[in-house]
Amino acid sequence: MYTAWNHRREALVPVFKEGGQQAMQAAAEELALTLRALTRNLKSYSAWHHRKWVIGHRLTSLEAEITLVETLLDADDRNFHGWAYRRFVADLMGMPVQRELEYTTRKIQHNFSNYSAWHYRSKLLPLLHSEPGVPAAADDSPSAAAERQAMISSSRAGATGALVLHQTLEIEYELVSQAFFTEPEDQSGWIYHRWLLGCSVAHWQAAPESEAERARLADVLGCQLALVSDLLDLEPGSVWARKTRAHLLGLMQRVGGAAGGSAGRGSGGEAADCVAAAAAWEDLEGLDPYRAGYYRHACSVSARASV
Amino acid sequence: MSGVYWGATALHILGQPERLDKAQLIAWVMSCQKPSGGFAGSEKHDAHLLYTLSALQILALYDSLDLVDASQVAAYVAGLQRGDGSFAGDEWGEIDTRFSYCALYSLALLRRLDAANVPAAVDFLRQCRNFDGGFGAQPGGESHAGQVFTCVAALSIAGALDEVVDADLLGWWISERQTPSGGLNGRPEKLQDVCYSWWALSALSTLGRLAWIDAPALTAFILGCQDLELGGISDRPDDAVDVFHTFFGLAGLSLLGHPGLAPIDPVFALPVTTVTRLNLAAQRLSCA
């Protein structure tokens, strides 16, 4: 099939180059054709690529593409081609990060199990504070706007390093707790939660000497542990809650260890955290035997860290 | 072309390579080479990186790589690299981390890795890394076990696994691909499928964390997908068999050390004997 699409593109190149009404008409026909192909097979790499190739010529409406891909994602909300296409069009349009974030919120609230939407949030959140709170001012020079857009595109694309703001993380912890209290055995929210914990840890890692950051992290971990314990009271059999608890205890062990004497915590506290983390991982070996190898590894990491 | 590679490699894993006629096979592969040096999926089709790698893998399997002009094929492959380090599948510019694997692996087979900008290729793969430790098809793309295989293997060939991959995080994410069926899925909350017995498992093996899933349960799942009358393996129990799933099922079993199967290499997806004969180098991690 890919060769047939190649032949079409060869024929279209001169038409698109010519421009004008004929080019716009030809582009519209290609979009109709790829839509028919995608309706038959939403996972066709070559049909999606052909559509991107046509759209890249900027002969047709981009807003219409967003509407179309929303309809496709309503029908198949985990289709990664559809999500990739949305990001492609959003980048071409210079779509505000806030609007994309709102879209993922809608998809998540419709279905907490939409891992694709949680994934996209992880790409968008680090961009939130790099975007102006108000629409670009009229005197914003084109080059400055282009530069900002390039930065947003590259970050949306996966550049790492930007810290997610504390207040943003608080909102995210709240959203994801709704997900795991609603569906405790769905992986999607829990994997996202683990990433959020990593984001919280990153603030401390960025300022390892800061007692304020360390205390703030200890507070976040304590709150999350209390939340997971509440869930375990309601759902004692939740393996995912137990995994998260074990992971949290491991993190607390690290943070507690770093406090040393200065925070007034004796070595007894650290040792207790270490024992608790190791015991939590050991429990999981029995509860979730498929992953026993991983739990043994995590347990040995906890044990080594305590030495 | 990829179908022929799957079938031929499956037969080698089964220890029955003589079931295909080598001379006929090689003649057909060479008939699919285009003037650019790249290979097409079949006669009368256009050249593409996917089929260029499959063709070279078949030639490697049959010790016939000397039939190609290495400089010409390497120039075709390296010519598809973009400024950001990514590789296009062909002249029409589709970008996908599968093509990064195809390109680096093809160049490694041709002993021409120096023809591409390997550090830039590594930077691009780093851009495709996600919050869960996995990798997507393009920057921003969701993690998928198929892309995890191609990115981990490409980084392994580039010798950059240790600088790009968080092996504990990714290994954990892959271990969570094993569902109660014993089979592996490709993304969270999706159905298991035999093809991930290769894609997810090979990456775990390269990361030195094969013990992070339950091997007997996965073995039982793959064996349960066999058609005991027709032969072959399907995606899930009781579905129709095909050469794609048959190869990935056998490859997974081989990685798990299933008796009677020749060992397969997790990075190069060829029998270990072939990889050893060609002296192909790749980085592997261990679980500290």
Structure confidence by residue, pLDDT tens digits, A67-94? 999 999 999 999 999 999 999 999 999 9
List phi, psi (to 5°) of B40: -95, 165
pLDDT value at residue B160: 98
Domain ranges of chain B: 2-278
Torsion over CA: A127, A144, B86, A96 (sign): positive
pLDDT over 60 at A194, yes or no: yes
Q: Is residue A29 domain-resident? A: no
How far is residue B25's CA from residue B58's CA, in Å, rounded to a whole number?
9
For residue A115, give how far its alpha carbon lies from the nearest alpha carbon of chain B (Å): 7
Q: What pLDDT score does A137 carry?
A: 36
The model's pTM is 0.94
Query: Where does chain A have alpha helices with state H?
Result: 2-18, 20-40, 45-55, 62-75, 80-93, 97-110, 115-124, 142-156, 166-182, 187-206, 211-234, 239-259, 267-287, 292-306
Sign of CA dihedral B280, B52, B98, A96: positive
Mean pLDDT on A100-128: 96
* Chain A interface residues (partner B, CB cutoff 8 A): 2-3, 5-6, 9, 45, 49, 53, 78, 80, 83-84, 87, 113, 115-116, 119-120, 122-123, 154, 156-160, 186-188, 191-192, 195, 289-294, 297, 301
CA A36, A42, A47, A52 torsion-angle sign: positive
Q: How far is residue B142's CA from residue B136's CA, in Å, rounded to a whole number?
A: 5
What is the greatest pairwise CA distance in chain A?
Answer: 78
Check CB contact under 8 Å for A3 and B44: yes
Chain B residues touching A187 at Cβ < 8 A: 176, 188-189
B198-257 pLDDT per residue, tens: 999 999 999 999 999 999 999 999 999 999 999 999 999 999 999 999 999 999 999 999
Cβ distance of B136 and A192 shorter than 8 Å: no
Helices A45-55, A2-18: crossing angle, 10 deg rounding: 10
Interface confidence, given as ipTM, is 0.96
Given the structure tokens 């430790």, which residue do they identify?
Answer: B133
CB contact under 8 A, A293 and B175: yes
Instruction: Please determine, for residue B57, whether its predicted confidence score (pLDDT) is greater than 70.
Output: yes
Given a cut of 80, whether residue B50 has pLDDT beyond it is yes
Question: At CA B202, angle to CA B154 and CA B258, rounded to 5?
Answer: 150
Counts for chain B of helices (H) and strands (E), in that order: 13, 0
Sign of the Cα pseudo-torsion (A184, A251, B143, B222, in order) = negative
Backbone angles phi, psi at A12, to 5 degrees: -85, -25
How many C-beta neighbours within 10 Å does residue A225 have? 16
Read off the tokens for B114.
């120096």
CA distance A160 to A152: 12
At residue A265, the pLDDT reads 47
- State the total domains in chain A: 1
| Contacts B146 to A, Cβ<8 Å | none
Cα(B50)–Cα(A271) distance, rounded to whole angstroms?
54
Q: How far apart are CA B270 and CA A79, in angstroms?
A: 31
Picking from A79, A46, A84, A40, the residue whose alpha carbon sits closest to that of residue A65 is A84
* Radius of gyration over every alpha carbon of chain B, rounded to an integer in angstroms: 18
Q: Closest approach of chain B CAs to the CA of A263, in angstroms?
A: 30
Q: Which of B131, B171, B172 sits opposite A119 (nearest CB)?
A: B131
pLDDT mean over A104-109: 98
Q: pLDDT digits over A203-237, tens only?
A: 999 999 999 999 999 999 999 999 999 999 999 99
Range of the domain at A251: 208-307
Which residues lie across from B264 on neighbouring strands?
A: B271
Q: Are B122 and B155 in contact (CB under 8 A)?
A: yes
Are the beta carbons of B13 and B261 closer than 8 angstroms?
Answer: yes
Range with the poorest average pLDDT among A38-42, A302-306, B57-61, B158-162: A302-306
The answer to whether residue A154 scores a pLDDT higher than 90 is no
pLDDT of residue A32: 97
**Is 50 exceeded by the pLDDT of residue A263?**
no
Contact B138 A186 (CB under 8 A): no
Asked if residue A267 has pLDDT above 60, the reply is: no
Nearest by CB to A53, which of B92, B144, B214? B92
- Convert the pLDDT of each residue in B126-160 to its tens digit: 999 999 999 999 999 999 999 999 999 999 999 99
DSSP state letter for A163: P
> What does the mean pLDDT of chain A come to?
88
Which pLDDT does position A259 carry in this prediction? 65
Nearest to A84 by CA among B141, B97, B187: B141
Instruction: Say if A281 falls within a structural domain.
Output: yes
Residue A297 lies in a domain: yes
Q: Is A79 helix (H, G, I), strand (E, B) or coil?
A: coil
pLDDT at A306: 67
For the structural domain made of B2-278, what CATH number should be given? Answer: 1.50.10.20
- Would residue A216 count as lying in a domain? yes
Confidence class for position A129, pLDDT limits 50, 70, 90: confident
Considering Cα of B79, then B84, then B85, then B89, what sign does the dihedral take? negative
Q: What average pLDDT does the segment B254-281 reach?
A: 98
CA torsion through residues A171, A177, A183, A185, sign? positive
Q: Do B187 and A78 touch (CB under 8 A)?
A: yes
Q: Which residue has the tokens 């099922």?
A: B249
Phi then psi dihedrals of residue B81, to 5 deg: -80, 140
Confidence band (pLDDT; 50, 70, 90) for A304? confident
SS3 B229: coil
pLDDT at A138 > cutoff 70? no
Predicted local confidence at residue A262, as pLDDT:
45
**Measured between alpha carbons, how far is A76 from B6 in angstroms, rounded to an integer?**
30
**Using CB atoms within 10 A of its CB, is residue B35 exposed (0-12), middle (13-18) or buried (19+)?**
exposed
Task: Work out the percent of chain A whose per-residue pLDDT is above 70.
Answer: 85
Closest CA to B202 of B256, B143, B129: B256
How would residue A128 be classed by pLDDT, with cut points 50, 70 and 90? confident
| The amino acid at A15 | V
CA distance A294 to chain B (A): 5
pLDDT-derived band at A303 (thresholds 50, 70, 90) equals: confident
pLDDT over threshold 50, residue A147? no
Q: Which among A118, A172, A297 is the top mutation candidate for probing chain B, defined by the most B β-carbons within 10 Å of its own β-carbon?
A: A297
